[in-house]
C-alpha cells in the first residue's frame, strides 16, 4: 500500500473536519501515490470522490480503501485513459448521475522515467506528452461544463523540472511546462465565469512512487540530496495534502493562475543530477542515438 494518510490527519491538520462536506472531487491518477493522498485529504474533510485511471482494478482498489477513511464516504472509480477524451466524458457523465455534481478536479495522471535525449525515442517522448499534457487538457475539457455549474476549481499536478535545463528529463519537463501554461490560460478564460485554476508542484516526497523510481541511490547520495534542499529533508504526503486543501479551500478564493511549489526550496538550489556535469553528458554523447 502506498504511503497514505490516516484518520489522524483530521486531528493534526489545521482544516475544519467538514470543510468539503457535500462536495465532489474528480481525480485523474488518483490511484498513484501523490494524487491518492490528495484524494484522501479531500475525503477526510467531507468530500465524495471519483478516482479514475487506466488500470481499472487499481483504481477500484484505491477507491475502496479511501472510502474506508470516513464513514459514509462515497468514492467511485472508473477505468479511463486520459489520452482518450471520450473515456473521460463517460466517467464525468456517470459521476454526475451517481453523485450529482463535480466541484473540484485534480488533473494528475502522469508518466516519467530518466532518459537522455539520445536514449529517448520519439515515441517515448510523445507518450509522456500525451499522458501529462494532452491528458490534462482532456481532463479539463471534459469537466469544465460541470465546474461551470458549481463555480468549481481545478488543480493540475505539475513539477519544477522545467524551471531550468535539467538533464534526463526533457519529456516530463516539456509536458509540465505545457501544463503550467494551460493552467494559466484556463484561469484567465474561466475566471470571469467563477472557476479558479491552479497547479501544485511537488518536490521530493518521502514514500511516493516518484521517489522510488527516480530517487534510487546509496545512503551517501540520499544524504547529499538532503543537503541540496534548503529545509534539509524530503517532504511528507501530509504537506502535499495540505497544499491541495489550501488551493481548493475558501482560504484561496482570490488565488488563481498560480503554481504552489511544495518542495522545501529544492528547485532553487543546484540539482543533485548536475553533480557529474558535464562529464556524464560527454560520455552519453558517444552512445548510439535512439530514434
Task: Name the one residue in this structure whose C-alpha cell is 465546474.
Answer: 147
Q: Which of 176, 197, 225, 271 is catalytic?
A: 176
Q: Please name every residue paired with 53 in a beta bridge, in sequence order, or none if there are none.
A: 79
176 among known catalytic residues: yes
Q: Which of 77, 136, 153, 158 is catalytic?
A: 158
Active site residue 158: yes
| Nearest-angstrom CA–CA distance, 111 and 102 | 25
**Distance (Å) of CA 155 to CA 128, 177, 245, 259, 260:** 19, 15, 10, 9, 10
> What residues are labeled active site?
158, 176
Amino acid at each position: 500500500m502506498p504511503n497514505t494518510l490516516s484518520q489522524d490527519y483530521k486531528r493534526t491538520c489545521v482544516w475544519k473536519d467538514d470543510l468539503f462536506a457535500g462536495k465532489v472531487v474528480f481525480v485523474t491518477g488518483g490511484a498513484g501515490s501523490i494524487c491518492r493522498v490528495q484524494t484522501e485529504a479531500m475525503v477526510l474533510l467531507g468530500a465524495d470522490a471519483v478516482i479514475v485511471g487506466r488500470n481499472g482494478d487499481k483504481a477500484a482498489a484505491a477507491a475502496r480503501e479511501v472510502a474506508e477513511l470516513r464513514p459514509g464516504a462515497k468514492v467511485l472509480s472508473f477505468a479511463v485513459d486520459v489520452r482518450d477524451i471520450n473515456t473521460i466524458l463517460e466517467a464525468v457523465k456517470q459521476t454526475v448521475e451517481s453523485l450529482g455534481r463535480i466541484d473540484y478536479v485534480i488533473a494528475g495522471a502522469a508518466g516519467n522515467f530518466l532518459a537522455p535525449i539520445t536514449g529517448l525515442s520519439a515515441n517515448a517522448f510523445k507518450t509522456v506528452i500525451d499522458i501529462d499534457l494532452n491528458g490534462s487538457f482532456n481532463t479539463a475539457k471534459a469537466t469544465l461544463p460541470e465546474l461551470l455549474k458549481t463555480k468549481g476549481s481545478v488543480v493540475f499536478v505539475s513539477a519544477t523540472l522545467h524551471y531550468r535545463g535539467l538533464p534526463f528529463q526533457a519529456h516530463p519537463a516539456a509536458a509540465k511546462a505545457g501544463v503550467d501554461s494551460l493552467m494559466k490560460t484556463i484561469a484567465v478564460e474561466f475566471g470571469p465565469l467563477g472557476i479558479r485554476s491552479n497547479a501544485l508542484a511537488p518536490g521530493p516526497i518521502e514514500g511516493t512512487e516518484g521517489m522510488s523510481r527516480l530517487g534510487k541511490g546509496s545512503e551517501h547520495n540520499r544524504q547529499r540530496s538532503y543537503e541540496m534542499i534548503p529545509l534539509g529533508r524530503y517532504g511528507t504526503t501530509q504537506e502535499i495534502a495540505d497544499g491541495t486543501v489550501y488551493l481548493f479551500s475558501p482560504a484561496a478564493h482570490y488565488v488563481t493562475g498560480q503554481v504552489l511549489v511544495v518542495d522545501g526550496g529544492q528547485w532553487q538550489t543546484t540539482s543533485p543530477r548536475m553533480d557529474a556535469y558535464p562529464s556524464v553528458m560527454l560520455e552519453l554523447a558517444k552512445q548510439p542515438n535512439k530514434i
